[in-house]
Structure 1
Amino acid sequence: MPNLTLYHTSGCHLCEQAFELTQQLGIQVTLMDIVESQRLIDAYGVRIPVIQRADGEELGWPFDAESLQQFINA
């Protein structure tokens, strides 16, 4: 299983939907709250939720089960 990071923040309903989708599909992600770093806020503040693979490739919202599976299997 690839190493995946979900960039999110508290109170973001789209982030909650993205996390729920990963859970429904049995995909483990590392949660990274962007408020922990100004660099992350600058990079993701208007784009979250974003899932990032270990190779640095990113999948931004909106995504569904099919596009998420394709992303992690690429």
Structure 2
Amino acid sequence: MSHLTLYQRDYCHLCDMALAVMAEAQAPEFDSVWVDDAPELEARYGTRVPVLRDARDGRELDWPFDAPAVRTFLSAM
């Protein structure tokens, strides 16, 4: 299990874009969590997805982000 999680929704074009950005940034392995069926996640992330979260320190990177922003986020690890 990775310490990185990408919160996303089903059928979310922004989430698809975020996945492409993560690949471009050469992000390490991360888990994907869909917020659609979890009321607590829907309440927290519903209007913010996609969101990249580092479970080790609780930092979150909200969309919109690009590859340089992801690399900067990851360099703080």
Task: Count the aligned residue pairs.
Answer: 73
* Deviations 1:14-66 (CA, angstroms, capped at 9, x unpaired): 00110121123332210000013100000011000000012111000011111
Kept in 2: contact 1:34–1:40 (CA 8 A): yes
Distance 1:3 1:49 in 2: 16
Distance 2:48 2:73 in 1: 17
Equivalent positions of 1:52-71 (< 5 A) are 52-54=53-55, 55-71=57-73
**Percent identity (aligned):** 37
Distance 2:37 2:23 in 1: 23
CA RMSD, 1 decimal: 1.3
Code of the aligned partner of 2:3: N
Kept in 2: contact 1:7–1:51 (CA 8 A): yes
Report what 2:11 is aligned to.
Answer: 11
Kept in 2: contact 1:21–1:65 (CA 8 A): yes
Kept in 2: contact 1:14–1:49 (CA 8 A): yes
Kept in 2: contact 1:22–1:29 (CA 8 A): no
Report what 1:42 is aligned to.
Answer: 43
